[in-house]
Structure 1
Amino acid sequence: MKLDTQHMRYLTAEDWRVLQAVETGSRNHEVVPTKLIGQIANLKAGMGAANKAISDLAKLSLISKLRNAKYDGYRITYNGFDYLALKTMHQHGSMDTLGTTIGVGKESDIYSCTDSKGNSKVLKIHRLGRVSFRTVKNNRDYLRNKQTQSWMHLSKLAAQKEYEFMTILYRNKFSVPIPYDYTRHCVLMERIVGFPMRQLKEHFAYKTLYSQLMGFIVKLANHGLIHCDFNEYNIMIKDDGTYNFQKEDGFIVIDFPQCISIEHPDAEFYFKRDVECIRTFFKRRFSYRPKNDETMLDTEGFGEGYRYAYPVFSRDVERTGDLDIQVKASGYKRKLNDEDRTLQNAVSSMRGEGDQEVEESSEDGSDETDDEYDEEDDLSDFSDDEENGDEEENEKIIEALSTGVGKLKMDKLGNYILEE
C-alpha cells in the first residue's frame, strides 16, 4: 500500500476529531453509524460540521462506506489509520518528516523518517492480514467468536508487542535497534547503517559472523525466548566501519512479534529451524560447513575453532533469564489476557504452526548424520503458487477497503472476501 501524506497538512481540527471518532466507533462496530460518529466527535458546530468533515474524509479515502450495509455509516481505512498514527508520533515529538519507502514485507511496510533535529530513523507500519485473507478461513479459528475483530486491531497489538520485545531486549544489551516510540500499528526505531544479510556477498570475517549469530540464538534462548524467524531477511549487517568486530556483534536483529517462550511445546523445533536458517545461508553463500571437533575444548562459540559446529537446544540452552515471562511470549506459563491470546493465535497462524516438517538432505544427495541433527539439514521449500494467488486477491481486498470501490462481503468468521 502506498502511504500518501500530502493531505495531512490540510485537515482541520474538526476533520481530525471526526476521523478519531470513526476509529473509536470501530472498536464496537464494523460500520460506524453516521449519527454515532457525530456524537463521539461532539463538535461545537453540531452534526452539520460533522457531516462536512465526513464528506471531506471520504473524498480522501481516509474513511469509506461499505457497500450493501444495512444502515448509513462509515469505517476507517488503512490510510485513515496511518494518518492518526503519524499525527500522534508528530505530537509526541519523536517524528517530524516521513521519507521514502525502504522496505515492503508481507506483514509490514518500512519507511525512512527524521525527527525535529534531523536524526534519521525508521518507521515500521504493521499490516497484519495483508496476505492472509484467504488462508484466514482455515487458519484463524480464534476469530470465530469475534466477528468484529479487525486486522487493524491485530496490527496494533503486533506493534505494541514488537515495541515491548525491542525495549526489553535493548535494555538487556541484545543487538537490536533502539526503540524510540510506538502508537497504534506503528513502531519508530533506530535506523541501522547497513544492509540486510540476504545481500551479503562477501565478508572479511564470515566465520566470526557465523559464530556470533549462533551465539545470539543461544543467548536469546537462555533468556527465555526463541526468535522463530531468524534468517537473512531479519538480520542487518553493520556497514559503518565504527565497530570492533572482535568485541561487539557485526549485525542487528529485527522483527520480533513472532517470538515464543522456551516453554512453548514447539520451542525445540523453532530453535532448530533458526539454527538451520543460518547454517543453510552460510553453506550456500560461503560454502562454509563447520563440523564438530572433539579436539577443541572451547564451547563458548560455534563453528571452526570451537568444539561444536552449531547449537543444539537440549545441550546448549540453559535458562538464565525470564524475558519470555516479562513480555508474555507465546508458550509462557502464566495466564494470558484476551488480547495476548488473540495476537499469539494470529502470529502462530502466520508462522504456519502445525506444518513443522524439516527436510533432511545434503546437497550431494548423501545423508551425513551426527548424534543431534543431520549434518546437512535443509529447510523445505514451500510452493509460492498459492501464495502468489492469495497476494493478488488480498491486494484487491485492500484496495476495496481503502477506496470503498469493489464488491466485498463478510464471511461468518468476520473476514472480507471478494464477491464473484
Structure 2
Amino acid sequence: MKLDIGHMRYLTADDFKVLKAVEQGSKNHEVVPTSLIHQISGMRAISGTNRAIGDLAKVKLISRVRNAKYDGYKLTFNGFDYLAVKSMLNKDTVYSFGSTIGVGKESDIYQVSDKNGVAKVMKIHRLGRTSFRTVKNNRDYLKRSNQGTNWMHLSSLAANKEYQFMSLLHSKGFIVPEPFDSSRHMVLMERIDGFPMRNLRKHRNIPKLYSDLMLFILKLANSGLIHCDFNEFNIMIKNDVEDSTDCGFVVIDFPQCISIEHRDAEFYFQRDVECIRRFFRKKLKYDPKPDVAMLDESGFGDGYRYAYPEFGRDVCRCDNLDELVQASGFSKKHPGDRSLEEAVDSMRNHEYVSDEESYSSQGEDSDYYNSDDYEEDEEAETTDSEDDENERIIEALTTGVGNLKMDKLGNYILED
C-alpha cells in the first residue's frame, strides 16, 4: 500500500471529523452506518455529513459497503494513513514527506522532515498487507485469519509496541534509533546515516564488529528481551564513526521482541546468534572458533574464550525491560492482545531469504541452529527470480517509474 497524501490539502476540518467518526465506529462495527457516523462526528446537519462522506469516498479514504441489513462505510488504509499523518502534522513532529527508503515484510519506510528541515524516518506498519506478492503466499496467519480481523487495529498495536520498545531501549543506552512520535500505525524515528549490513563487504575491524553484535544480543537478553529478527537486514552500519567507543552500527525493527521468559526464548536467541554467524561466515569470511586456552570472556570471537554466546551459559537477567513493556511471554498474567500476538508470531517465523541462500524457521525440536557444521540448504530455483522482482518493485516505488499496481489485498504487483 503506497502512501498517497496528495489530497490532504483539500480536506476540511469537517472532512476529518467524519473520517475520525468512521474510524471510531469501526471499533464496534464492521460496516459503520451513516446515521452512526453523523452521531459520532458531532456535525450539526446530516447534509454536511453526507457531503463529507461523498468527498471522502471520491478520494478513496472510505469505501461504501452494501450490507444485508443496511448500507454503510468502512475506513480504508488510505484513510487510516491520513488520520495518522494529520495527527503528526497537528503536533508539528512532521512537516514534509519525501521518497520511499525501503519496503519491509510488514511495513513501508519513508523519509520525512520536520519544520526545521531535519531529516527523519517514518515507518508505516501494515500487518496483513504484505509488500511483496512472493511473500504473501508464505503468510500462514493470512490464511488462518477470519474476515473480521481488523488489520488496521493490529498495525496500530504493533506500531505502539515498537515505539514503546524503542523509547525504553534508547533511554537505557541501547544503540537504537531515537523515537520521536507515534500515531496509529506510524512511528517517527531518527534517520541513521548509513546502510544495511547486508551490503557490507569490507570493514576496518571485522572481529570487533562481530564481537559488538554478539554483545548486543547478550546485553539485550540480560535486560529481559530477545530481538527475534536480528540479522543483516535489521542492522544499519554507520557511514561515519564518531570515536573508538562507537560500535559503528544501529539496530532497528523491534515489534516482534519477546521476553527471555518466553517458552521459545532459547530458540529465538540462538537463531539471532546464528544469523550473525552465517552472515560473517559467508559474506566476510570470518568464522571464529572457541579457544579454551583463552581466559577473556568479555567478548566473543578470535581472542576470546567463546566464539558466540549461548542462552543457558551466558544469559543472566540484570533488568526487567520485558516486564516494563509487557513483552510477549514475560508473564502468564499479562498475555496481551492475542490477535496481535498471533500476527507478530508469524512475523518471527517468516521465511527469511538472504542474497545467496534461503531458509525457513524451524520448530522447537529442530537442531538446525545448534550444529556448527550443518549442511547448507540448496538454493531454491525461484529465489533469484523472486529477489529480482522484489528489487524491481522497490525501484518502481522509489522512482515512480514502472507498471506498478496493487491487487485486492494491497500487494504490489509488476505487470509486464
Per the TM superposition, whether the score is higher than 0.5 is: yes
1:351 maps to which of 345, 348, 352: 348
Hey, what's the Cα distance between the residues in 2 that align with 1:138 and 1:211? 36
User: What residue is the counterpart of 2:322 in the other structure?
Assistant: 324
> For residues 173 and 36 of structure 1, do their structure 2 counterparts lie closer, same or farther at Cα, with a shift above 3 Å needed?
same
Hey, what's the Cα distance between the residues in 2 that align with 1:260 and 1:379? 28
Alignment of 1:139-178 (within 5 A): 148-178=148-178
Superposed displacement of residue 380, structure 1: 5.8
Asked if the contact 1:258/1:348 (under 8 Å) is kept, the reply is: yes
Instruction: Summarize deviations over 1:3-59 as a string: whole Å, max 9, x none.
Output: 111110110111111111111111111111112111111212x11111111111111
2:407 alignment partner, SS class: helix
Which one-letter code corresponds to 1:113 in the other structure?
V
Q: Unpaired segments of 5 or more residues in structure 2?
A: 351-360, 394-404, 412-416
1:211 has 2:218 as partner: no
2:409 alignment partner, SS class: helix
Superposed displacement of residue 240, structure 1: 2.4
Alignment of 1:34-113 (within 5 A): 34-44=34-44, 46-66=45-65, 70-113=69-112
Asked if the contact 2:177/2:191 (under 8 Å) is kept, the reply is: yes
Superposed displacement of residue 399, structure 1: 4.4
Asked if the contact 2:329/2:335 (under 8 Å) is kept, the reply is: no
Hey, what's the Cα distance between the residues in 2 that align with 1:133 and 1:76? 23
Identity over aligned pairs, percent: 55
Alignment of 1:237-256 (within 5 A): 237-241=237-241, 243-244=242-243, 246-256=244-254
> For residues 150 and 172 of structure 1, do their structure 2 counterparts lie closer, same or farther at Cα, with a shift above 3 Å needed?
same
1:122 alignment partner, SS class: strand
User: What residue is the counterpart of 1:376 in the other structure?
Assistant: 373
1:342 has 2:335 as partner: no
User: What residue is the counterpart of 2:260 in the other structure?
Assistant: 262
1:320 alignment partner, SS class: coil
Q: Unpaired segments of 5 or more residues in structure 1?
A: 362-372, 401-420
1:125 has 2:124 as partner: yes
User: What residue is the counterpart of 2:202 in the other structure?
Assistant: 202
Hey, what's the Cα distance between the residues in 1 that align with 2:9 and 2:381? 41
Hey, what's the Cα distance between the residues in 2 that align with 1:31 and 1:133? 26
Which one-letter code corresponds to 2:85 in the other structure?
L
Hey, what's the Cα distance between the residues in 2 that align with 1:138 and 1:116? 40
Instruction: Summarize deviations over 1:392-419 as a string: whole Å, max 9, x none.
Output: 9x9522349xxxxxxxxxxxxxxxxxxx
> For residues 278 and 375 of structure 1, do their structure 2 counterparts lie closer, same or farther at Cα, with a shift above 3 Å needed?
same
Which one-letter code corresponds to 2:363 in the other structure?
Q
User: What residue is the counterpart of 2:29 in the other structure?
Assistant: 29
Which one-letter code corresponds to 2:5 in the other structure?
T
Higher RCO (CA < 8 A, seq sep 6+): 1
User: What residue is the counterpart of 1:17 in the other structure?
Assistant: 17
Asked if the contact 1:106/1:130 (under 8 Å) is kept, the reply is: no
1:109 alignment partner, SS class: strand
Which one-letter code corresponds to 1:58 in the other structure?
A
Hey, what's the Cα distance between the residues in 2 that align with 1:381 and 1:264? 32
Which one-letter code corresponds to 2:408 in the other structure?
I
2:408 maps to which of 382, 388, 397: 397
Hey, what's the Cα distance between the residues in 1 that align with 2:193 and 2:221? 27
Superposed displacement of residue 229, structure 1: 0.3
Alignment of 1:165-314 (within 5 A): 165-241=165-241, 243-244=242-243, 246-314=244-312
2:188 alignment partner, SS class: strand
Q: How does the TM-score come out when normalised to structure 2?
A: 0.84
Superposed displacement of residue 247, structure 1: 1.2
> For residues 385 and 65 of structure 1, do their structure 2 counterparts lie closer, same or farther at Cα, with a shift above 3 Å needed?
farther
1:356 alignment partner, SS class: coil
Instruction: Summarize deviations over 1:297-353 as a string: whole Å, max 9, x none.
Output: 1101000111111111111111111111111111112522653x3322221123239
Hey, what's the Cα distance between the residues in 2 that align with 1:231 and 1:266? 18
> For residues 265 and 398 of structure 1, do their structure 2 counterparts lie closer, same or farther at Cα, with a shift above 3 Å needed?
same
1:66 alignment partner, SS class: strand
Hey, what's the Cα distance between the residues in 1 that align with 2:312 and 2:75? 48
Hey, what's the Cα distance between the residues in 1 that align with 2:287 and 2:51? 66
Q: Aligned Cα RMSD in Å?
A: 2.7
Q: How does the TM-score come out when normalised to structure 1?
A: 0.84
Which one-letter code corresponds to 2:334 in the other structure?
L
Between 34-43 and 341-350, report the one with greater CA deviation. Answer: 341-350
User: What residue is the counterpart of 1:415 in the other structure?
Assistant: none
